Structure 1
């Protein structure tokens, strides 16, 4: 019996169909394997065996750039295992900082020993927020940077049990929301002139004299982000650094002494209703460009040890050299790099 005859046109269509099928199958496999978070294994160091989750989610200060860089420092130089979460637009699985309702991987908080966040005006679904709420109820240590004072912004119509986290919450016991209850302050105002005045860090003399280990090796911090207004962070807060506004946007800009000093880094405790007591380190610095400051990176690394109750292991001068390349974008709305995938921040 003769094989069925296929003319040239039929063969071409057949092979075209095969190619399309292979391409679609390959694309599907790639989509299924696409990373939605970063993970860095811990190397040798005191932090080996400890897990840190870093959550990027602000639309102004480029946390999607700064937190992966910090994660690599913590893993490479100090041994911590780190996982970085991002705001993801699910349409193309791209990192979109102003997409405010999706941060995949929040379940990583379940076995995290410490979290570092830089969030602004998020309204996450309950399925994601429940992991953050459970983390806080467990009294686990938290490091909160810059706009985390106003991390959450729930709509007036929200029926979420986590709407109390809203930065201007009026819920009893949660007045002014997450920022006030956990960190000691919510968003108040720009004390320094935004994008015109930077922040010169002035170490608290009492804490420096007492050799607070969080200040080990920390001497010179200038941040491009301006000083925030901080009114009352609570009696149990310990101010480590005050911030002076600088009359200019360079490290050598003079201090504007007409403006008062404000706390820009402090520690305190927190507790949710029915939860355990936890440690928190907060700083109103932390933009991606701020982290070009070696001593600001060192301050955050030291605070990580402190949060984990590892004060005796805080180095006299922690290694905080940048791993790989780091060219942060200047802060601002809608100036983030578009079309970025999580793998682009490795």
Structure 2
């Protein structure tokens, strides 16, 4: 009997191990939903799913051995080893691997992987237009495509492009279409993998193996990965559980085109578009561990914006400010308050990943867990910036927090060195003045004119805490002047910046825009003193 129990136990444990091998690690699918209908504002959310490896395929899109864009080649070459490691891990887990280097099938005509794709049994039915390029699916009509790629998206310098074209000609290749096969850095297992660039063939493979889950990776997301017959749009429209590996992809985007942001921000904008209107995304570290892949030239610091106020419309002014003034140098992550529960900020945990935090929140009481995210960020000594109502962000006026929520009444004094008590009447025009002794401060560089009208009422904040360095003051007729912008070194050693500017009219003022941009740069890069 004892021996029988031991055998039974071993059988159960072995069966459990086999089952575990059939499952991928839990995947965190990132997707975006509107804060409310037709708002044009989005929460970036995560949901966990567990996929069976036998029900899953990964498609490698157009990781060619050459390209007409020199910088695209450099990025693809840099990304390839990480992508290959991902394929090895997925293949070992039992995931079907499909290599799809478009227009390169001749190079693989006699290989087992190519023949395996050709010989896959025909599916009983095929999605409409599965053999054709897809330029848009209906869900995308709700949004505005975020980048201008009408010039083809090449981001080479003229000198780089000319030299690369000469090199391609020297190799005997067509400079406009030099690819011949998939790059060698991505291994093809001829015993198990498939090679195809046909939407029909790839659909046959998926149908034959009863695959419902599809992972897309490769280049270029805004063109081939989205549009190919086997791409994200076709897979999503056909009802597959399709995801993009957002850190193992690239775009064809030229920063000289709208919206005039860095190449990497252009990629981020396309990923935003995909998460909102096409399908969720995952990152390679969910399979491989460690950190997500990042291109070596992507040196952008991450700026998180926490927005939750309805009086000054910063939910409409800060996002375009982020694109126009920060898109070249920073990666901006905007976290909005919930439209149905103003004390909730879906995705607030992402603050922990930020290098700088900009707050535009008015009188919200957070849950203890959410507030701890903010407090832990501050305690880590990271930069904090606040505009307008940020000095009374996390405390309600003369009333306790709702059940299950907490106030942080010391926030203003501890984080900004402030002392907000009220404001002067809205009908009283505020004049802002640069402090004479602060004119050389880097936050004031290019802030012109040195005297200008404020858009909103003057906040009463004096006296500030020791250690505050006032940069701007404001005055209204017949009242003492008040600090309007200042820096503050916190007890935790971190640096803060606060300004009571931030009214919707202020964002139309070049002086304020320059001030805020400078403050972000100062908070991240100014030497510590």
TM over 0.5: yes
Write out the 4+ residue segments of structure 1 that deviate beyond 6 Å after TM superposition: 38-42, 44-47
In structure 2, how many angstroms separate the alpha carbons of the residues matched to 1:141 and 1:234?
Answer: 18
The two structures have a TM-score, normalised by structure 2, of: 0.42
1:88: which partner in 2?
338
The answer to whether the aligner puts 1:57 opposite 2:308 as a matched pair is yes
Mapping of residues 1-346 of structure 1, within 5 Å: 33-35=32-34, 36-37=42-43, 43=262, 48-76=299-327, 78-90=328-340, 99-153=341-395, 156=400, 162-163=406-407, 165-166=408-409, 177-191=410-424, 193-194=425-426, 196-208=427-439, 211-220=440-449, 221-245=452-476, 256=477, 258-271=478-491, 276-310=492-526
> Post-superposition shift, 1:239?
0.4
Deviations 1:275-320 (A, max 9, x none): x4110001111122211111101001001111012469xxxxxxxx
Deviation at 1:185, TM superposition (A): 2.2
**2: CA distance, partners of 1:180 / 1:310:** 23
**C-alpha distance in 1 between matches for 2:380 and 2:347:** 18
Q: Which ranges in structure 1 are unaligned for 5 or more consecutive residues?
A: 1-31, 91-98, 167-176, 246-255, 313-346
8 Å CA contact retained: 1:47, 1:80? no
**Aligned-residue offset at 1:38:** 6.9
Q: Distance in 2 between matches of 1:135 and 1:162?
A: 17
Give, in angstroms, the shift of residue 79 of structure 1. Answer: 1.4
Distance in structure 2 (CA, Å) of the matches to 1:33 and 1:48 = 25
**Shift of residue 60 of structure 1?**
0.9
Partner of 1:14: none
Structure with the bigger RCO (C-alpha within 8 Å, sep 6+) is: 1
Deviation (angstroms), 1:44: 6.5
Distance 1:74 1:180 in 2: 29
Shift of 1:162: 4.8
The farther-off stretch of 38-47 and 211-220 is: 38-47
What secondary structure, in the 3-state scheme, does the structure 2 residue paired with 1:81 have? strand
- Asked if the contact 1:100/1:124 (under 8 Å) is kept, the reply is no
Q: 8 Å contact 2:337–2:344 — kept in the other structure? A: yes
Residues 170-221 of structure 1, C-alpha deviation per residue, up to 9 Å, x if partnerless?
xxxxxxx211221122431213x21x1232210100111xx11111011233
Higher alpha-carbon Rg: 2
- Cα distance between partner residues in 1 of 2:415 and 2:448: 27
| Residue 142 of structure 1, CA deviation | 0.8
What is the count of residue pairs matched by the alignment? 242
Q: Residue 199 of structure 1 contacts residue 243 of structure 1 at CA under 8 Å; is this kept in 2?
A: yes
Distance, in Å, in 2 between the alignment partners of 1:147 and 1:34 is: 26
Whole-Å separation in 2 of the counterparts to 1:212 and 1:148: 23
Deviations 1:75-126 (A, max 9, x none): 33x4100011111235xxxxxxxx4211111111111000111111101222
1:157 Cα deviation (Å)?
A: 6.2
Deviation of 1:66 (Å): 1.8
Distance 1:242 1:219 in 2: 15
Counterpart secondary structure, 2:460: coil
**Per-residue deviation, 1:161:** 8.6
The answer on whether the counterparts of 2:418 and 2:462 sit within 8 Å (CA) in structure 1 is yes
Given that 1:147 and 1:284 are in contact with CA atoms closer than 8 Å, whether structure 2 keeps it comes out as yes
Cα separation, partners in 2 of 1:157 and 1:100, compared to 1, 3 Å: closer
Deviation at 1:59, TM superposition (A): 2.5
Q: Which stretch shifts more, 39-48 or 60-69?
A: 39-48
- The Cα of 1:160 is off from its aligned counterpart by 6.3
- 1:53–1:114: 8 Å Cα contact kept in structure 2? yes
Indicate the residue corresponding to 2:169 in structure 1: none
Give the secondary-structure state (helix, strand or coil) at the position aligned to 2:364: coil
Cα distance in 1 for residues equivalent to 2:513 and 2:401: 39
